[in-house]
Amino acid sequence: MSKVCEITGKKVMVGNHVSHSNRKTKRKFYPNLFKKRFFLTEENRWVDLKVSAAGIRIIDKKGLKSALEEAKMKGFITNY
């Protein structure tokens, strides 16, 4: 299962652990993802999404239908 937000497109980033002696080793920064169900009132059904905390805030702000359409247009989600 990929760790990508279906609304914002946020995904894993790569960076460095930096120790006290300033040695650098690779590490990953994971997005804050949740598996969440939303009720789509226009189609009278539930939609299961993997969204980040920022994605949940976008859905609250814009509404579920417009957020899904925008994510589909940007290519973050194929169908819902």
3-class SS letters over the chain: CCCCCCCCCCCCEEEEEECCCCCEEEEEECCCEEEEEEEECCCCEEEEEEEEHHHHHHHHHHCHHHHHHHHHHHCCCCCC
Q: Which pLDDT band holds residue 2 (cuts at 50, 70, 90)?
A: confident
- pLDDT, average across residues 14-32: 98
Percent of the chain with pLDDT over 90: 95
Q: Which pLDDT band holds residue 1 (cuts at 50, 70, 90)?
A: low
| Among candidate residues 14, 19, 58, the one with its CA nearest the CA of residue 38 | 58
What's the pTM value of the predicted model, to 2 decimals? 0.86
pLDDT at residue 45 is higher than 80: yes
**Which architecture, in CATH terms, is 13-74?**
Roll (2.30)
